[in-house]
Amino acid sequence: MKRNRMVLVEFADSNIGHGWEHPEATQDGLAFVRAVGYLKSEDDEQLTLTMALSDLGLIFEKFTIPKASVKSVKELRMK
């Protein structure tokens, strides 16, 4: 997929717990997530989205997702 395209990525996210909690009150399932962003980079192991791109080449926020958790990637068109 071409870089800097706006995409919708659907993936299974990790579930992290921290601190003391009762075993019966915890949920062990994975969250199913939909993220929209600009495709910054992609290889066989991961893809990275950014929230915004500037005309100076600057990026705002960066989010890398392991390919093993990705369910689908769809390119979005803007009107």
In this prediction, residue 27 carries a pLDDT of 74
pTM: 0.81
Nearest CA to 71 out of 37, 47, 51 is that of 47
For 30, other C-beta atoms within 10 Å of its C-beta total 12
Q: What is the pLDDT of residues 31-52, one digit of tens each?
A: 899 999 999 999 999 999 999 9
Integer angstrom CA distances of residue 41 from 18, 54, 73: 31, 16, 13
CA distance 60 to 38: 10
Residues of the chain under the 50 pLDDT cut: none
What is the distance between the alpha carbons of residues 8 and 46, in angstroms, rounded to a whole number?
A: 15
The residues spanned by each domain of the chain are 1-13+32-72
